[in-house]
Amino acid sequence: MEAAAHTGDPFAPAAAAGIHRIAVPTPFAVGSVNVYLIDDDPLTLVDAGPNSGTSFDALERGIAALGHRLEDIELVVLTHQHIDHLGLVGLVAKRAGAEIAALDVAVPVVERFADEAEADDVFAGELMRRHGIGDEVVSALQSVSRAYRSWGAPAKVTRALRDGERLTLRDRSFEVQHRPGHSPTDTLFLDRERALLIGADHLLASISSNALISRPPAGSDQRPRPLITYLDSLRRTRELDLELVLPGHGDPITDHRALIDQRVGMHDQRADKLHGLIAERPRSAHELAQSLWGNIALTQAFLTLSEVLGHVDLLLEQDRVVEVERDGMVRFKAVGAPANGQQP
Ligand SMILES: [Zn+2]
Mind spelling out the 3-state secondary structure of 158-212? Answer: CEEECCCCEEECCCCEEEEEECCCCCCCCEEEEECCCCEEEEECCCCCCCCCCCC
pLDDT score of 339:
52
**Distance of alpha carbon 86 from the chain centroid:** 12
Positions of the chain with pLDDT under 70: 1-7, 219, 221, 337-344
Residue 216: the pLDDT is 83
**Cα 81 to ligand 1 centre (Å):** 7
Q: What is the pLDDT of residue 3?
A: 46
pLDDT tens-digit map of 214-229: 888 776 767 789 999 9
Using CA atoms, how far apart are residues 33 and 27, in angstroms rounded to an integer? 10
pLDDT at 2 (0 to 100): 44
Q: So what's the pLDDT on residue 159? A: 98
Question: What pLDDT shows up at residue 336?
Answer: 79
At 337 the pLDDT is 61
Interval between CA 276 and ligand 1 midpoint (Å): 30
* Cα 344 to middle of ligand 1, angstroms: 39
> How far, in Å, CA of 23 to CA of 251, rounded?
11
Q: What is the pLDDT of residue 213?
A: 87
Q: Find the 337 Cα to ligand 1 centroid distance in Å.
A: 38
- The DSSP element (H or E) to which 20 belongs, if any, is strand 19-24
Task: Tell me, in angstroms, the distance from the centre of ligand 1 to residue 139's CA.
Answer: 23
Q: How far is the CA of 30 from the centre of ligand 1 (A)?
A: 10
8 A C-beta contact, residue 141 and residue 82: no
Distance 82 CA to ligand 1 centre (A): 5
CA distance 201 to 187: 9
Ligand 1 centroid to residue 282 C-alpha, Å: 32
| pTM, two decimal places | 0.92
pLDDT at 298: 75
How many Å lie between the centroid of ligand 1 and the Cα of residue 110?
14
